Amino acid sequence: MDCFDKKQTCIEVRDLTMAYGDFMIQHDLNFTVNRGDIFIIMGGSGCGKSTLLRNMVGLQPPARGKVLYGGASFWESGPEEKKTIMRRFGVLYQSGALWSSMTLAENVALPLSEYTRLSQAEIAELVSLKLALVGLAGFEEFYPSEISGGMCKRAGIARAMALDPDILFFDEPSAGLDPISARRLDELIIELRDSLGTTVIVVTHELASIFAIGNNSVFLDAETRTMIGVGAPGELLKESRDPKIRRFLTRGEK
Amino acid sequence: MDIAFDRRADDTLVVHLGGNWNIANGLAATDELEKLLATKPLPAKVAFEAGKLGDWDSSLLAFLSKLAACCSSKSIEVVSRGLPTGVARLLELASAVPENKDARKERRRAPLLSRVGEAVLEAGQAIEEMLVFLGEACISFCKLIRGKARFRGSDLALLLQECGVQALPIVSLISLLVGLILAFVGAVQLRLFGAQIYVADLVGIAMAREMGAMMTAIVMAGRTGAAFAAQLGTMQVNEEIDALKTMGISPMDFLVLPRMLALVLMLPLLCLYANLMGIVGGGIVGVAMLDISPIHYFNETVAALRIMQFVPGLIKAVVFGILVALSGCLRGMQCKRSASAVGESATSAVVTAIVAIIVSDAILTVIFDRIGI
Ligand SMILES: Nc1ncnc2c1ncn2[C@@H]1O[C@H](COP(=O)(O)OP(=O)(O)OP(=O)(O)O)[C@@H](O)[C@H]1O
Ligand SMILES: [Mg+2]
């Protein structure tokens, strides 16, 4: 699969319209995510950010439009191609979605044992490393029901990173985290991008982290049901005339 | 994935890293390095040289973090200056939060005696939990009678529909077949002395007193009891039950009571229906195999079935309804917080219900015999 070559463009979203049945959520979304971007999806609660992620990672077909990965349209490719593309994803779901009957170590190890030929000991080493990266060293043998909400989130991040994916999708990774852990998570995201070249797509409401990590973003609006801004968050704040975007990026001042 | 070492004069071990590191190719072994780090005189420092390093991923990080752990246990200094900045920073992040030593759990197998002891204590606790649950159910029921229990009428209506109308097809099929089977078995024996007509008595009485209630209860245990356990178990997993409790709504009143009511009301009705279907099944055998005329079969059945014959069956149906609802709800409420726990509680609800049905059926049959109904 050459669609993940060192090309600049990584994901293109073209005229994407998403709906649940007849209920349209967002229409005519157009944006491009470049390789190595940290791309932020913003917008008020309930405007369709999680739904957009579901459309992008291949869980829900769009009502209209395309999602292109390295030029290949995801929803028009065959099942095998879809699988190869999806193998390059790491996804953190908004609710964590850890497998409740497995320990944290088993949660992170499952993708590794499915897709690599590593031995048990090697997998255990990698699992410890990934858990340490999200600050959960020593919690290998815990079950998801035995750890806190923020810890579940972080374990979900460790699982998403298990296979060193090319593209990471994080749905509100810092919701439920203390400011210090949230900051450390931002650093981790930046490091992953800088050193492994991972493209990261983040849904978040955290203004501090939007400005700290994002180098491109799209703003979804719930009323007009489409995107009303695209660009680097800092520039959106400086240049956008749209009162909704300004209010969002200044926490409701003016 | 190339590793080479050389030892400098100033007691530094230099690790040369080169090539591409990819988890798909496995992790690098650290045995050789560990041996080097253990040979006396110990090096004072470990440094890195990564000029020829190509692409890398977590496999390099895993190798380095293992090396770092090994060094720190021997108090050898690790100089990370030679590493690419990304590697050094990621390793720093990985060690930013110290490992939670207390959290680490040991998986040790307890000795046989203590496992037996624990199993006994657990069994005792299970019985206690069951009794507490029974007690709470009784209290809720009393509240209902005094009109103080809170649950939603629409829930009850939905449950009545689920345990009533929607169970009709499966109950029809099962009881029709049970009637057929009873008639078959009876017919073979009764034909030996020309008493075929008594097949009608046999099927009628067996269905009304015993099989109707029992088969319906077993079907409902598999169908509705398991559903109750899975519903309540999932609610337990999602903390929905905790949410009810913190709002001051008793899950007993709100969830268990309507389920019990629905089954207690519907099971006797289903049982009567099952009796009818069983008799029809017997009739089919009688008419088709034994050449009894339909009218004759009908008259014989009516003669055999005094109204009192239905009473034991109906009492049993009420008791079974309570038992199926209780075991479904009990196992659901006891569910732990994981997906497999929901499966276990559904299974154990069915097992508990069926055991309870058979045991109570035996007891009731003896009692009815004693008091002569
Ligand atoms: N399975 C579904 N069926 C029908 N409508 C849905 C479904 N899931 C979500 N919706 C609707 O889609 C809209 C967008 O939901 P979505 O979860 O994408 O919001 P969001 O932007 O992620 O919000 P938040 O920031 O609160 O997570 C909401 O109005 C919701 O009502
Ligand atoms: Mg969402």
Q: What is the DSSP string of B182-205?
A: HHHHHHHHHHHTT-GGGHHHHHHH
Lowest mean pLDDT among A3-7, A191-195, A214-218, B338-342: A3-7
What is the predicted pLDDT for the residue at B103?
65
Q: How far is the CA of A171 from the centre of ligand 2 (A)?
A: 7
Q: Please report whether residue B113 resides in a domain.
A: no
Whether B97 sits inside 8 A of A135 (CB atoms) is yes
pLDDT, position B320 = 96
Residue A54 CA: nearest ligand 1 atom is 18
What number is the average pLDDT over the span B100-112?
73
Residue contact B24–A195, C-beta within 8 A: no
B30 within 8 A of B67, measured Cβ to Cβ = yes
Q: Which domain holds residue B354?
A: 123-371
pLDDT on residue A3? 41
- What does the pLDDT read at residue B263? 94
Tokens of A135: 């600050």
Mean pLDDT on B157-161: 94
Show residues of chain B in contact with A139, CB under 8 Å: 100, 103
Whether residue B11 lies inside any domain: the answer is yes
To probe the interface with B, which of A129, A141, A151 has the most B CB atoms within 10 Å?
A: A129
Asked whether the predicted pLDDT for residue B106 surpasses 70, the reply is: no
Instruction: Answer yes or no: is pLDDT of A6 > 70.
Output: no
- Any idea what the CATH number is for the domain that residue B59 is in? 3.30.750.24
Question: Nearest residue CA, atom 14 of ligand 1?
Answer: A48
pLDDT at B357 over 70: yes
Does B59 share its domain with B153?
Answer: no
User: SS3 of A27, please?
Assistant: strand
The residue with tokens 């895993």 is B62
Looking at the structure, do residues B51 and B90 belong to the same domain, yes or no? yes
- Is the pLDDT at A2 greater than 50? The verdict is no
Ligand 1 pocket, residue A46 CB under 6 Å:
yes
d(CA A68, CA A62): 12
- Residue A137 to residue B94, Cβ atoms within 8 A: yes
For Cα atoms B15, B19, B25, give the angle at the middle one, nearest 5 degrees.
Answer: 105
The percent of residues in chain B predicted with pLDDT above 90, rounded, is 56
Min distance B201 CA to chain A CA atoms (Å): 53
**Tokens standing for residue A170:** 């994080």
Chain A residues within an 8 Å CB radius of B103: 138-139, 142
- Higher per-residue pLDDT: B51 or B362: B362
Percent of chain B past pLDDT 70, that is, above it, reads 99
Minimum Cα–Cα distance from A147: chain B residue: B103
Nearest to A139 by CA among A131, A148, A130, A149: A131
C-alpha dihedral sign at B32, B33, B37, B41: positive
The confidence score (pLDDT) of residue A204 equals 92
For residue B149, the model assigns a pLDDT of: 79
**Distance, CA A26 to ligand 1 centroid (Å)?**
11
The CB density around residue A179, as the number of other CB atoms within 10 Å, is 10
Phi–psi pair at A251, nearest 5 degrees: 55, 40
Average pLDDT estimate for B32-45? 80
pLDDT of A176 reads: 83
Terminal CA-CA length for chain B: 86
Residue B239: list chain A partners with CB under 8 A. none
The domain locations on chain A are 7-88+165-181+197-254, 97-164
Q: Name the H helices within chain B.
A: 31-38, 58-73, 85-94, 112-145, 153-163, 168-192, 199-206, 212-220, 226-237, 240-246, 251, 257-289, 294-304, 310-333, 339-371
Determine the atom of ligand 1 nearest the C-alpha atom of A205: 25
**Closest Cα to atom 6 of ligand 1:** A20
B257/A9: higher pLDDT: B257
**A126–B90: do the CB atoms touch at under 8 Å?**
no
Q: Is A117 exposed, middle or buried (0-12, 13-18, 19+ CB in 10 A)?
A: exposed
Q: Would the CB atoms of A122 and B27 count as touching at under 8 Å?
A: yes
Q: Can you give the pLDDT at residue A1?
A: 36
Band of pLDDT at residue B218, cut at 50, 70 and 90:
very high
What is the average pLDDT across B253-263? 93
* B138 shares a domain with B69: no
Ligand 1 centroid – CA A193 distance (Å): 29
Instruction: Clarify whether residues B320 and B178 are in a common domain.
Output: yes
With 0-12 / 13-18 / 19 or more C-beta atoms within 10 angstroms meaning exposed / middle / buried, residue B106 is: exposed
B66 and B158 inside one domain: no
**Mutate which: B1, B99, B101, B238, vs A, most A CBs within 10 A:** B99
Q: Are residues B144 and B29 in the same domain?
A: no
Q: Is the CB of A48 under 6 A from ligand 1?
A: yes
The reply to whether B112 falls in a domain is no
Q: In what order do the strands lie in the sheet with B45-53?
A: B2-7, B12-19, B45-53, B77-78
Q: Which residues does chain B have within 8 Å of residue A100's beta carbon, measured at their own beta carbons?
A: 237, 337-341
Distance CA A94, CA A200 (A): 15
B103 domain residue, yes or no? no
Residues of B with CB under 8 A from a CB of A: 23-24, 26-27, 57-59, 61-62, 65-66, 84-87, 89-90, 93-101, 103-105, 107, 237, 336-341
- Count of residues making up chain A: 254
pLDDT, residue B268, reads 95
Strand, helix or coil for residue A139? coil
Q: Is the pLDDT of residue B89 over 90?
A: no
Q: Tens digits of per-residue pLDDT, A31-48?
A: 999 999 999 999 989 999
Q: Residue B161: which pLDDT band, with cuts at 50, 70 and 90?
A: very high
| Interatomic CA distance for residues A107 and A143, integer angstroms | 9
Chain A positions touching B29 (Cβ under 8 A) are none
One domain, residues B174 and B84: no
Distance CA B261, CA B258 (A): 5
What is the overall mean pLDDT for chain B? Answer: 90
* Same-domain check for residues B75 and B219: no
Q: What backbone torsions phi and psi does residue A100 show, to the nearest 5 degrees?
A: -70, -20
Question: Is the model's pLDDT at B65 over the cut of 70?
Answer: yes
How far is ligand 1, taken at its centre, from the CA of residue B38, in Å?
Answer: 58
Question: Are residues A196 and B57, on separate chains, in Cβ contact within 8 Å?
Answer: yes
Out of A77-81, A139-143, B105-109, B360-364, the most confident range is B360-364
Q: Which of A27, A41, A42, A47 to mutate to test the pocket of ligand 1 (most atoms within 8 A of CB)?
A: A47
Q: For position B36, what pLDDT does the model report?
A: 79
Q: Name the residue with the closest Cα to ligand 1, atom 28.
A: A46
- B39-75 burial, b for 16+ CB within 10 Å, e for fewer? eeeebeebbbeeeebeebbbbbbbbbbbbbebbeeee
CB B94 within 8 A of CB A161: no
β-bridge mates for residue A171, sequence order: A203
Q: Given this model, what pLDDT does residue B29 score?
A: 80
| Number of domains forming the structure of chain B | 2
Q: Is the pLDDT of residue B38 over 90?
A: no
The band of B88, judged by pLDDT with boundaries at 50, 70 and 90, is confident
- Taking only the tens place, the pLDDT of each residue in A54-108 is 999 988 999 999 999 988 899 999 888 888 888 889 999 998 889 888 899 999 9
pLDDT value for A83:
86
Alpha carbon distances (Å) from B81 to A119, A197, B62, B285:
31, 21, 18, 91
Residue B11 shares a structural domain with residue B157: no
A231 contact partners, CB below 8 Å, separation of at least 6: A216, A217, A239, A240
CATH number of A7-88+165-181+197-254: 3.40.50.300
Buried b (16+ CB within 10 A) or exposed e, A49-80: bbbbbbbbbbeeebbebebbbbebebeebeee
* Cα–Cα distance for residue pair B293/B291, rounded to 1 Å: 6
| Nearest residue in A to B62, CA atom | A126
Task: Report the pLDDT value the prediction gives residue B75, as an integer from 0 to 100.
Answer: 84
**Closest residue to atom 16 of ligand 1, CA basis:** A48
Find the residue in A nearest to B56 (Cα): A196
pLDDT of A4 > 50? The answer is no
Does one domain contain both B252 and B143?
yes
- What CA–CA distance (Å, rounded) separates B186 from B207? 13
Chain B neighbors of A187, CB-CB under 8 A: 89, 93
**Residue A12: its pLDDT value, please?**
93
State the pLDDT at residue B300: 92
Distance from CA of A17 to the nearest CA of B (A): 32
Per-residue pLDDT reduced to its tens digit, A132-165: 999 999 899 999 988 998 899 999 999 999 989 9
Does the model's pTM come out above 0.90? no
For A178, counting Cβ atoms within 10 Å of its Cβ (0-12 exposed, 13-18 middle, 19+ buried), the class is exposed
Question: B316 pLDDT exceeds 50?
Answer: yes
B15, B70 contact by CB (below 8 A): no
Same domain, B84 and B144: no
| Contacting residues for B361 by C-beta, under 8 A, at least 6 apart | B210, B213, B214, B316, B320
Whether residues B143 and B215 share a domain: the answer is yes
Q: Does B102 fall in a domain?
A: no
